[in-house]
Amino acid sequence: MRSILKFCSLFLLAQGAIGISSSLPGFAGSPCNKKAWSQALVKCGGSNQCAFNYYFSRVGLDIKGAMQCKLDDYNRATGKNYTLEDMEKMNPLKNVKPSSSCGMTLSGERVCTKSKSEDSSRSSPASQFDPSATRKYNEELKKYNEALSIDKAIAANPQGAIAYHSKEITINPKNVDAYVNRGLAKENLKDYKGAIADHSKAIAINPQHAPAYYSRGVGKHASKDYQGAIADYSKAITINPYHANAYSNRAIAVFLLSNDSSSACSDIKKAASLGNEYRIDWLKSEDGAWCRNMR
């Protein structure tokens, strides 16, 4: 019983894939598994974003590799030769300061807030990347967001992320990723009601967007609406059967709702089989023995 309770307390991945990028030391040197990427594209009917999600869930939660695959496709299509380091330099949140004194960029770089009187006209990472044209930067930034679809909200700068994605939504009210990413930022601030509303808006725009269902499930899960969370995790799995984190989180929600350890264990094992390293390690541990030995 103790190990089961400990299992339930690990709503680990309640922020699931959401929290992984913020701990990355950097983006360089992340090879794309071309065979796996090709399989993902076939599985997804050529959809680049679907392939990104499929690859990430299937290939050991390798977000850096998934990003590199997506960027490789973008470079081939446009004739560019950008690296992930280049794209990080263009990260708009790098210059958005949180209300607290310090925060982190996507690559893990520590940045600290300076006084409000600081000269706001100083050159930004964008102008350093391409000092000749702000307009060109904006165009490339749009392509970058389309190419990588990075969850900027996972940086430890949720207030800045909300402001940035709100501006995106003002420019394009149909921007599904902007709603999802703003919702992730709100989840980081424990504004689950606001997060759920954003994810619901994303779903209304695109009813086949697995990350929106998964992320809304996270918000419901954190709000103790386990039945609603299970429904959203299940929908995410229906759309993307390789969503390891959705299986992992559904396991916890199922157990908390109905004490159904058999179904929970089945989902845990499925998550592990899809490459969720946490669940793989957990099943090998003493805490996971009850599930590991369940037939």
The pLDDT of residue 67 is 76
Establish if 111 belongs to a structural domain: no
pLDDT in tens, the chain (295 residues): 445 545 554 444 333 333 323 222 333 345 777 777 777 776 666 666 666 666 655 555 456 677 777 777 777 777 777 777 666 655 544 443 333 333 322 223 333 333 333 333 333 333 333 344 445 545 544 544 544 444 443 445 778 888 888 988 999 999 998 898 899 889 888 899 999 999 999 999 999 999 899 999 999 999 999 999 999 999 999 999 988 889 999 999 999 999 899 999 999 999 989 888 888 888 998 888 999 999 8
Per the DSSP assignment, residues forming a β-bridge with 110 are 104
- Of 188, 16, 22, nearest to 108 (Cα)? 22
Counts of helices then strands in the chain (DSSP H, E): 16, 2
> How many CB atoms are located within 10 Å of the residue 40 CB?
25
Whole-number pLDDT of residue 12: 41
Residue 210 lies in a domain: yes
221 located within any domain: yes
Q: Kindly state whether residue 117 falls inside one of the protein's structural domains.
A: no
- CATH number where 44 lies: 1.25.40.10
Q: Is 115 inside any structural domain?
A: no
The predicted pLDDT at position 27 comes to: 32
∠ CA 212-218-223, rounded to 5°: 130
118 in a structural domain = no
pLDDT for 250 equals 94
Residue 161, pLDDT score: 81
For residue 159, the model assigns a pLDDT of 83
C-alpha to C-alpha distances, 45 to 42, 49, 53, 96, 192, nearest whole angstrom: 5, 11, 13, 37, 33
pLDDT for position 244: 87
| DSSP at 281 | H
Question: How many domains is the chain built from?
Answer: 1
The whole-number pLDDT of residue 46 equals 64
* Cα distances (Å, whole numbers) of residue 94 to 91, 161, 184, 260: 6, 10, 18, 44
The pLDDT of residue 33 is 76
pLDDT at position 115, please?
32
pLDDT for 76? 76
Other residues' Cβ atoms within 10 Å of the Cβ of residue 31: 11
Containing domain of residue 129, as a range?
2-103+124-292
| 252-to-12, 191, 204, 220 alpha-carbon distances in Å | 9, 21, 27, 13
In a domain, 175, yes or no: yes
Task: Please report whether residue 108 resides in a domain.
Answer: no
Whole-model pTM: value is: 0.56
Sign of the alpha-carbon torsion through 25, 27, 28, 33: positive
**Residue 113: CB partners within 8 Å, gap ≥ 6?**
97, 98, 99, 100, 101, 102, 103
